[in-house]
Amino acid sequence: MPKAIHPYEVIRQALVTEKGTYLAAEHKYAFRVAKGANKTQIKEAVEKAFDVRVTAVNVMNVKGRERRWGRRRVLRPDWKKAIVTLAPGGKIELFEGV
């Protein structure tokens, strides 16, 4: 049984990128989500937060990249990314006009 996470803690950040704007034409939106969240929790959180119907959720773990800080090399933390597909006719206003 996965650990219960409050729906508003699942979605961390909306990812507004060039690729994300192309996906928006296909009713797909990208989010940075909590590492412990599963597909069901992500679906419920998006439906509750944006009042839309979600048909599919794809999840991927993104490795943290190595950064330079002076002479040191620092590894950024790993994070989880979710691409959410909405039902036809659904859209999230947060991504419009970007």
The DSSP secondary structure of 41-67, one letter per residue, reads HHHHHHHHHH---EEEEEEEEEPPPEE
For residue 93, what pLDDT is reported?
80
For residue 8, what pLDDT is reported?
86
For residue 92, what pLDDT is reported?
87
∠ CA 80-58-1, rounded to 5°: 70
Residue 39: inside a domain, yes or no?
yes
**By residue range, what is the domain housing residue 57?**
7-88
How many domains does the chain fold into?
1
What stretches of the chain show up as alpha helix (H) in DSSP?
7-10, 18-24, 39-50
Residue 56: inside a domain, yes or no?
yes
pLDDT tens digits for 7-61?
889 999 999 899 988 998 899 999 999 999 999 999 999 999 999 999 999 999 9
The stretch 54-72 carries a mean pLDDT of: 96
Residue whose C-alpha is closest to residue 7's, from 55, 60, 50: 50
For residue 62, what pLDDT is reported?
97
Residue 1: inside a domain, yes or no?
no
pTM of the predicted model as reported, rounded to 2 decimal places: 0.87
